[in-house]
Amino acid sequence: QKEVEQNSGPLSVPEGAIASLNCTYSDRGSQSFFWYRQYSGKSPELIMFIYSNGDKEDGRFTAQLNKASQYVSLLIRDSQPSDSATYLCAVRGGRGSTLGRLYFGRGTQLTVWP
């Protein structure tokens, strides 16, 4: 069973702060890592994906990957109340998994208060 673990939160930060969301995974063969945002009652939408060790930045969002530690994180700079949502970490299975199959964590609920 391929596990994806996230700190379930809830995480609460003030507007303008940096929100840090963390995720660990069990399948060492995993190659692709995704962060989805899910507003309450809505479907998940992709924010970022990362393949290589290190940081990947996109606007206020930075994904960080450390394959040796099997750890991926998402930083949200200058957090806004509109960032309040559940953030889902997803990992594409490595060897032995069906191509394209994603394994999701339970999600971290983020609240940004004004």
Partner 1 sequence: EAGVAQSPRYKIIEKRQSVAFWCNPISGHATLYWYQQILGQGPKLLIQFQNNGVVDDSQLPKDRFSAERLKGVDSTLKIQPAKLEDSAVYLCASSLVRDRVMQETQYFGPGTRLLVL
Q: Which residues bind partner 1 (CB under 8 A)?
A: 4, 32, 34, 42-46, 49, 88, 90, 92, 98-102, 104-107
Give whichever of 17 and 70 is closer to partner 1, judged by the CB atom.
70
Residue with the two structure tokens 């702060």: 17
Distance CA 54, CA 80 (A): 25
Q: Is 83 left (phi over 0), alpha (psi -120 to 50) or beta?
A: alpha
Give whichever of 18 and 46 is closer to partner 1, judged by the CB atom.
46
Beta bridge partners of 48: 35
Q: At its nearest, how many Å lie between partner 1 and the CB of residue 5?
A: 11
Q: At its nearest, how many Å lie between partner 1 and the CB of residue 17?
A: 25
